[in-house]
Structure 1
Amino acid sequence: MKIVVAESGKSSPKSCTGSITIQLENLNDESPQFTAISPNPLTINESLPRGTLLIKVNATDKDVDDVTYYEFVKTYAGFLIEEDTGEIKVAYPLDYDDPNTLTSPVLEIRAYDSDRVHSSTATLTVHIADINDNPPQCSRYLYIVELAETSPEGTPVVSLNCWDNDRTAANNILLYTMILDTYSTERFNITNNEITVGHSHLQYDDSSFAAVNFQHVIFVKVEDNGIPQLTSTSTVIVKVTPVNEGTPFSGTRTFNIFEDSPIGALVGTAAFTDTDLPDNNVKYSIVGGNTDVPPKFYIEPDSGRIRLLNILDRETQDIYTLTVRAVDVNNDLQIDPLRQRSGSAIVTVNVMNVNDEPPVCVPEYYEKTIYSTITSSIIQLECSDKDSPDHELSYSIVGASTDNLFELQRPDNNPAKVASTQRFQFDVFQGIEHSREYTLLIQVTDEFGGDKHQQLTSTVTAVIHVVPWTTTQPTTTTSTEFTTHVLTLTSFYWSPEKWFTVVLTLAGAMAVILISGIAWVCYQRTQSVTNQPRSILRQSLPPDEVAFDGQARDPVSGNWYMYNSETGQRKWLSDG
């Protein structure tokens, strides 16, 4: 400030000037004042992330160089205010559905100067809007239930306990939806939160169900009615337990087995069907028709395979009727013998014929004395075969030469007859010293329906004494003992290689040439020897001497001798 001092009352007053500086000191005498705070509520959504800016408040202080600061008058959950800027932010996500959360809080804001001498307050109403931010909740998210496969329709499976934490009533209307696989379709129903057995019922006895360990897996989607709709999922596992419902059954079965089958041979399998799982889990036993001691058949308890336990003889019994019983096992959740089911079936076993019986002739030895003039049948054979009919038996004369003086006659299918073919000729001029004898070995062979691979034979011995027509009927009969043998003839077929046929043909040709040469030498040496055999005198031998059962003529000397066919011993006969 400038000050002037002047004299007064003088014509030429004098004056002087000077300046005064006045320095004013600022006093903090003003309070901060808020500006532009709307009286309407500030609406925000719940669950805003931490640090979200809601609004910025502003207050001014007229005091020069004074700084304004901001704070809440008290603590408000979920909100914070920046002291320097007045920015109001979200301290942490707000949950409208939390009962401890105020849905319309009134925030009281204080603006103060740096010395906290002066301050002012303002209010801000915040309205927290509810949004659908909570999916439905359930008391359990996994249920495991066991139900028997016979549970009827409507049987309760599970009741879900679910809710929605959102306060809005519309959000608390929950919708339940089952998600089923193809196999479980129509086996379950759901009404609101209740799951029950459907009209298709449960079924344990299904191989495709076994692949999923006999379990139904039901996913239940729980959905609220908010915007946007939120869902949660619960899982229900239904374990189906077995119940013994089916009875083992099998139709009538027929098996064929050859009578020469070895012990242990498989006759057949008496398979039973049981609709309960495990598949055909039954135990087998023979309860009828197996009364032989020891029994003829045995059945494997686990498989139902019937095996031969003893030898068969079709000629004794050609058909067996067995009763097979099957009892199911382990078809219930808990093994209960009282709930076991059983079934039975008739099994017929036909014993197929095998040519294992040779022909039998009774007797096996014949001795007959005839006149030399007889040309009719001499002996009627009586032969039969247990496993071949009479018409399948064939007869042939084998063994010693009979000079074609005898034949077998068989006009029908009956056993053959031995007959002479011509009148016997004797040297009447030289006379007859003793009767002439012929030994016939007759082979009987069964044909077994034309199958010649396995033929069986037996033999019959016939001794025929021929006396001249001039001789009267002898008063005594000469008795000759013969040892008979049962021969078994088995035919085998073999197809040789081509080279073997050539070698065999050459070897055979050489053998024929060699035999022909030997025969020619023998023929030349025997031309002078008479072919008329002398009678053989057979005598009863003491027990300690050899029994001879055949006779023959030496091709070199022409003499006759008796021989034992087993030991090969010989005894020459006297010329007389």
Structure 2
Amino acid sequence: MQLVTQVQAQGDNVRYEIIAPAAHGLYTIDTVTGELRNTYELDLQRSPEVAHTQLLVRAYDMLHPSDSDIMGLNITVLPTNTLAPHCSPAVLLAQVPEDTPIGWTLAMLTCTDPDASNSSLRYQVEGDQRSRYSFRMQGPQLQVNETLDYDSAASARFQYVATILVTDNGQPPLSTHVPVLVTVTPKNEHSPACPASAMFSVPEDAAFGDTVGRVNGTDLDYPFDNIEYSIAGGTGASPPAFYVGPRTGEIHVLSPLDYESKQVYILTVQLRDMANDADPHHQRSALCDITIQVQDTNDQPPRCMPPFQEFFIYSTRDPSLPLTQLQCSDKDESTMLPLTYTLVGGNTNEHFRLAGSTLLHSAFSDPSDSIREPRTFELLVEVTDSFSAPRHSTTATLVVHVMPWATATPSTATTHTTLRKEPLVVTLTERFWAPSPWFVVVLTVSVALLLVALAWLAWKLLCRATGAQTPALPHFPVLLIAGLLRQVSAATPTGQQEQFDGRAQDPMPNTVHQSPRIVVNQTPAANPPS
């Protein structure tokens, strides 16, 4: 609530009250201080009747209410400028080309003053120096004030940021700020240019994704060299052998290359400029021929035809005659050195040798008694295409069967084979349980405590059985009593045996138990002691 005025009266114990109108509800007065305040917001547009109000305020003595005085108040509510102008749109966004003429209207504002419908409004452009002088206000119209150069706007990403200040003539004057964002688009005037050098080389063993080279196209339109690259042709069969990065212009290997199949690729790369014109369809492009030469590398092993051969010869065959000549070749044209042949297996006793790719054998010098046995040699020939890395090789298999040739009756020879005894090592694994030391200690203590407890329990039971009286057993079988007596007699020492008198006796000394007399079918030898 806002303070309107303060009523003051002279006297002691003065109190204040509003007596008319009785139900006004617009104002309230403090009974002690006399401050008059409004009870709610006074809006002349919604409630015109609050413009003029008459109040009667009574001041009285709290101890003597009859001592009072009345004062009349005339309250006039004056209109004030409380609302700023309202503009539509609240934000101005515009996009114009760089060749927009001076005086061109970019946008128009529609502004009103809620406090006064006929209030006049003032418009003014604010912002940095570049934006403030680039535009002007012609009434509510935003117009171009000077040529919009895209080079100067490039530093701000082709954007001008300003603010339109709209002010009313109220008291106090209120203003509204309308943000303005104007984007200037350049004109696409130049086509992309191809690079001066457009030839690259790549080895045929290049892996997927390896970089072959980079197409460095140029464009004089701003942003400079903003080019999109694509391959328009010349990549070969599907799938294509190469692909180009659309933004980087780098050419990469996409599929395996083979020098023996194709040595030269001529790619047609299309260069298209990007974001150089407001119209996305107004683009300029150029086609560039890029030559890629595939370099031969040693990537394939030699091949022998056939890879497997089998021969049958007699043991008396002339060693000067060749057995066979390997037919091996290498598809790699870069391998200029001749192939090398090496026996790597199966040449027992060095009976065979190689002269280049020709296989020769030496005379078989076996004894006459063993030459008649056929022998089979499985020769492995390694064929290598180079002496340095990368080096590839293949293995050819030659099976030679040596047949005996005998002119006399062969003698029979017995061959004894002595088998070498190899030591046999047998490992037996025995599983046992090895408890922890603490477990052994706990178990020992537990067993000792258990034995002590059992001994104590047995001692207590024995003491209880000894101290208790034996009840009469009139109906117990006589034979059982006789047997018990015989056991007691047998346990009594020889020097201290006494005759049984039919009464029960306590084995403990100085203890007498009264027991009923039991008559047994036998006569005691003497009268029992009294």
TM range (shorter): 0.3 to 0.5
The two structures have a TM-score, normalised by structure 1, of 0.38
The two structures have a TM-score, normalised by structure 2, of 0.41
